[in-house]
Amino acid sequence: MIDSTAFVRPKYVGKPIRRLEDPRLLTGQGRYTADIQLPRTAHLAFIRSNQAYARINGINLDEAKTLNGVIGVFTASDFTHIPDIKAVSNMENYQVTSCPVLARDVVRYVGEPVVAIAAISRYVAEDAAALIEIDYDTLDVAVTARDALAKNAPKLHDKLASNIILERNFATGNAPVEIANAPHKVSGRFSLTRKTSVSTEPRAYLADYDVGKDELILYDSTNIPGIVRDEIGHLLNLNGNQIRVIAPDVGGSFGGKGSLYPEEIIVADLSRRLERPIKYVADRLEELTASSQAFGEEVEATLAFDADGQFIALDAEIIGDIGAYSIYPWTAALEPVQVASFLPGPYKTPVYRGRVRGVCTPKPPTGPYRGVGRPMAVFVMERLVDLAATKLNLSKVEIRRRNLVRAEDFPHRSSSGIVWDQSGFQECLETAEKAVSKLNLENRKKKSNKWIGVGYACYAELTGIGSRISVAPGMPMNTGTETASISIDATGAVTAKFGIASHGQSLETTLAQIVGEELGIKPEDVRIIQGDTAFSLHGTGTYASRSAVLGGGAAIKTSRALLIKVKQVAATLFNVDPEQVETGDGLIFVHNTNHAINFKELAQAVYSDMKTLPMEKRETLAAQESFDPFLGTTSSSAHVAVVEIDPETLVIKLQDFIVAEDCGKLINPLVVDGQVHGGVAQGVGVALLEELKFDDMGQPITATLADYLIPTSAEMPPMQVHHLETQLPPNPGGFRGMGEGGTIGAPAAIANAVADAVSHLGLCIDSLPITPNKLHALIAAKSKH
């Protein structure tokens, strides 16, 4: 008998449950795309443009074609049946670019694929590549965004009106007038150089065409399998039931695996044409030169405020160096337009003018990168806030406190149009301030002969965005819905299927915690299937901090619908009212009675026994529900960085990093901490290390991981993460998204800390990454004056 006074239904949500995906990943049993080996596979290598902008005069393939082991050599003329990739938009003032799967007539960036070679091994494919000559005529081109903006700049795309492929204006009130009349103002010209995602697993694709069934399976290291299926289906003229995209174990993305790439379309197409598996695994050079890149933005901004430090108006001119093509599906508006949308930040800034322009340059396309737009927006705003504090001689915390939206102001519509709701803006700052006071920095400063600086950054972000707006401005695609389908099979086992696609986010665990808690079974008894289009009708994937809110919401709704069925069936079996039936820890029971069965017995009664239940009571134990939060949730955070700069070498060392964040209800605190840590590490890269450099001709000069530096354990400081659960958002579960936040706040906090450390020198820290060399240059320039 289950004693109602003694039985407590176990809770799984909120617990630091060990990850269910770990055993396989820890023992070398994970299955990443490159690990999958199929008989008769042909391996692809690409020859990529070595020119930034050039006309292709001719390609000599003769020798390569006859090389032993070569299966086929392909150029643009072999893919005339595939339409160009076009990212359309509802935005006014947007020009669509046409991106052929292999460069046709013209190349537009170093790294653009020109020739594809299929051979019996990657070694042979690369041998063949060495035998191919491509004759280019270089063309005049503007390499930087500033040059490409000029009226008479050579156009990168003949057919477009200009290099400016998008423009959008934001205006609330009359910012220029307010600024002119304001008692105080600060301004600056800020830039974030280009960077890239660098997931440790390079992109990989393996297509397996079944001629007999006319079905294509594409194993794909992507975080958007649903979008890949839909669009490759469209481009290759296949129905959704003829193409299945499987994202097996995926080794990180951070945005880099979240767009549609020419290589995956070619792999899919060639597998059908050659009727054999086709595999392509990018190498690191290809990753650094031909996967989507990020930032490349310049912002000129002015903040006006009164004598109390209350913000009056903000004005910004934003230029985004979007690269050669507008990326599918997000478009080139994704990053720069969100810089403009998020610039006013979590502050009350009543008047705002922002103009954003995206400019085509002969560089790899920019695409989504963790934080999208917000790292730049927060960097600019937080630098301005610190400059304002300095000007008024106010504390950096006090000026923020005075301007952050307060609890009583929610919902607050920001001057760029974003609605902030119920999130701990002030509380995060307060918590961070307390944590800083415990560091005893005054003492440290006194004892040290180094320059020590502290930097704050506050931000808010919209996460778990519903169908009211697309996650990318103007993109005509619904990213606001996710569906779950959960079933109990004839053995009593629970399987839950989702359209999202984990690439490190621990979704197999966190979703199992949710489903387990809702249904009353142990998380380890729930099998989560995700990242496979065969199991979801529609689903766009995992990005934009949406999976906990949307996937979690769908999990809750669906589990509850299934639980109703479970209770109904059990009620018939027990001959009681469905309301009396409870579940927990794998049991279905009625308190204080002998009625108790497990899920296996329930399934048996429904599916297998022919007598236990009358036919009309044998419900299918399955449910499918979608969740759409319509608006979205507001996550917020305050970051603090403490840096120490060696006056001799100018080496910048991060000493402490503090995060106070409000992501609503935590599903698994270990996982949340991990996401914050990882996000901050990437923010450290943005602030101090990572920079893709191009020379005057548009040649990339950071093409190895020895040139493009990412943080190692030695550069990372110990981190403190404080979680606040202020008022929970009204969505199922009360979750907010948090996967990107670390990367959003850290660059600004570190920039402010460096500026604080060198405040006695009066240097402007307005471009990231800031490095010892750049600091040296700033000091040298200052002493010349």
Partner 1 sequence: MSYKLKIALNVNSESFEADVEPRMLASDFLRDELGLTGTHVGCEHGACGTCTIILNGVSVRSCLLLAVQLDEANIETVEGLGTTREMHRIQHAFREHHALQCGFCTPGFLITVREILDTLPLRNDKEIREALSGNICRCTGYDHIVKAVRTLVNERDKRLNS
Instruction: Output the CA angle 291-246-526, nearest 5 degrees.
Output: 125
Residue 710 interacts, among ligand FES, partner 1, none and using kind-specific CB cut-offs from 5 to 8 Å, with partner 1
503 binds partner 1 (CB under 8 A): yes
Give the contact letters, 102-131, x = binds to partner 1 (CB under 8 A), - = no: ---------------------xx--x----
Asked if residue 523 lies in contact with residue 20, where contact means CB atoms within 8 angstroms, the answer is yes
Give the Cα separation of 203 and 651 in Å (integer). Answer: 34
Q: Minimum Å distance from CB 44 to partner 1?
A: 15
Give the contact letters, 253-292, x = binds to partner 1 (CB under 8 A), - = no: -x----------------------------xx--------
Q: Minimum Å distance from CB 515 to partner 1?
A: 20
Smaller CB separation from partner 1, 24 or 406: 24
Size of the site for partner 1 (CB under 8 A): 62
Q: Minimum Å distance from CB 706 to partner 1?
A: 6
> Parallel, antiparallel, or unpaired for β 596-598 and 633-645?
unpaired
Residues between 177 and 206 that touch partner 1 (CB under 8 A)? 198-202
What ranges in 343-461 are assigned the alpha helix state H? 374-392, 396-403, 425-437, 441-447
What ranges in 1-61 are assigned the alpha helix state H? 22-26
Smaller CB separation from partner 1, 128 or 267: 128
Residues between 189 and 208 that touch ligand FES (CB under 6 A)? 200
Q: If you count them, how many residues does the chain have? A: 785
Give the contact letters, 462-501, x = binds to ligand FES (CB under 6 A), - = no: ----------------------------------------
Residues between 590 and 619 that touch partner 1 (CB under 8 A)? none
Q: Minimum Å distance from CB 238 to ligand FES?
A: 32
Smaller CB separation from ligand FES, 323 or 504: 504
CA distances from 665 to 423, 522, 670, 698 (A): 12, 20, 13, 47
Give the Cα separation of 19 and 748 in Å (integer). Answer: 32
Residue 283 interacts, among ligand FES, partner 1, none and using kind-specific CB cut-offs from 5 to 8 Å, with partner 1
Q: Minimum Å distance from CB 670 to ligand FES?
A: 14
Q: Minimum Å distance from CB 34 to partner 1?
A: 7
Instruction: Output the CA angle 212-217-221, nearest 5 degrees.
Output: 165
Residue 503 interacts, among ligand FES, partner 1, none and using kind-specific CB cut-offs from 5 to 8 Å, with partner 1
733 binds partner 1 (CB under 8 A): no
Give the Cα separation of 246 and 631 in Å (integer). Answer: 30
- Whose structure tokens read 């969505």? 731
Residue 355 interacts, among ligand FES, partner 1, none and using kind-specific CB cut-offs from 5 to 8 Å, with none
Residue 443 interacts, among partner 1, ligand FES, none and using kind-specific CB cut-offs from 5 to 8 Å, with none
Name the residue with the smallest CB distance to ligand FES.
200
> Parallel, antiparallel, or unpaired for β 54-60 and 106-107?
antiparallel
Residues between 655 and 674 that touch partner 1 (CB under 8 A)? 670-671, 673-674
Phi, psi (degrees; rounded to nearest 5) at 263: -60, -40
Smaller CB separation from partner 1, 576 or 710: 710
Size of the site for ligand FES (CB under 6 A): 4
558 binds partner 1 (CB under 8 A): no
Give the Cα separation of 558 and 547 in Å (integer). Answer: 15
252 binds ligand FES (CB under 6 A): yes
Which residue in 405, 372, 398 sits closest to 456, CA to CA?
A: 398
Stretch that binds partner 1, among 163-171, 298-306, 580-588, 700-708 (CB under 8 A): 700-708
Nearest-10 Cα torsion for 129, 130, 133, 138:
90
Residues between 57 and 76 that touch partner 1 (CB under 8 A)? 68
Handedness of CA 369, 370, 376, 377 (dihedral sign): positive
Continuous segment of H or E residues that includes residue 516: helix 507-519
Smaller CB separation from ligand FES, 154 or 252: 252
Helix%, strand%, coil% for the chain, nearest 5: 30, 25, 40
Phi, psi (degrees; rounded to nearest 5) at 300: -105, 120
Residue 26 interacts, among partner 1, ligand FES, none and using kind-specific CB cut-offs from 5 to 8 Å, with partner 1
19 binds partner 1 (CB under 8 A): yes
Structure tokens at 205: 């694709």
Which residue in 227, 220, 168 sits closest to 477, CA to CA?
A: 227
Q: Minimum Å distance from CB 503 to ligand FES?
A: 9
Q: Minimum Å distance from CB 52 to ligand FES?
A: 28
SS3 634: strand
Asked if residue 111 lies in contact with residue 48, where contact means CB atoms within 8 angstroms, the answer is yes
Phi, psi (degrees; rounded to nearest 5) at 259: -135, 170
Give the Cα separation of 229 and 232 in Å (integer). Answer: 5
- Whose structure tokens read 């009353």? 520
Residue 680 interacts, among ligand FES, partner 1, none and using kind-specific CB cut-offs from 5 to 8 Å, with partner 1
523 binds partner 1 (CB under 8 A): no
Q: Minimum Å distance from CB 121 to partner 1?
A: 8
Smaller CB separation from ligand FES, 251 or 480: 251
**From candidates 2, 15, 21, 487, binder to partner 1 by CB under 8 A:** 21
Residue 505 interacts, among partner 1, ligand FES, none and using kind-specific CB cut-offs from 5 to 8 Å, with partner 1
Q: Minimum Å distance from CB 86 to partner 1?
A: 31
**From candidates 504, 553, 737, 739, binder to ligand FES by CB under 6 A:** 504
Give the Cα separation of 530 and 260 in Å (integer). Answer: 19
Smaller CB separation from ligand FES, 200 or 241: 200
57 binds ligand FES (CB under 6 A): no
Smaller CB separation from partner 1, 24 or 434: 24
Phi, psi (degrees; rounded to nearest 5) at 762: 65, 40
Continuous segment of H or E residues that includes residue 339: helix 334-342
Extended beta strands in 227-306, E state? 243-246, 278-281, 293-305
Buried b vs exposed e over 708-731: b needs ≥16 C-beta within 10 Å?
bbbbeeebebebbbbbbeeeebeb
**Which residues are bridge partners to 366 per DSSP?**
293
Point out which residues bind partner 1 (CB under 8 A): 16, 18-19, 21-32, 34-35, 37, 68, 123-124, 127, 198-202, 249-252, 254, 283-284, 503-506, 670-671, 673-682, 704-706, 710-714, 716, 718-719, 742
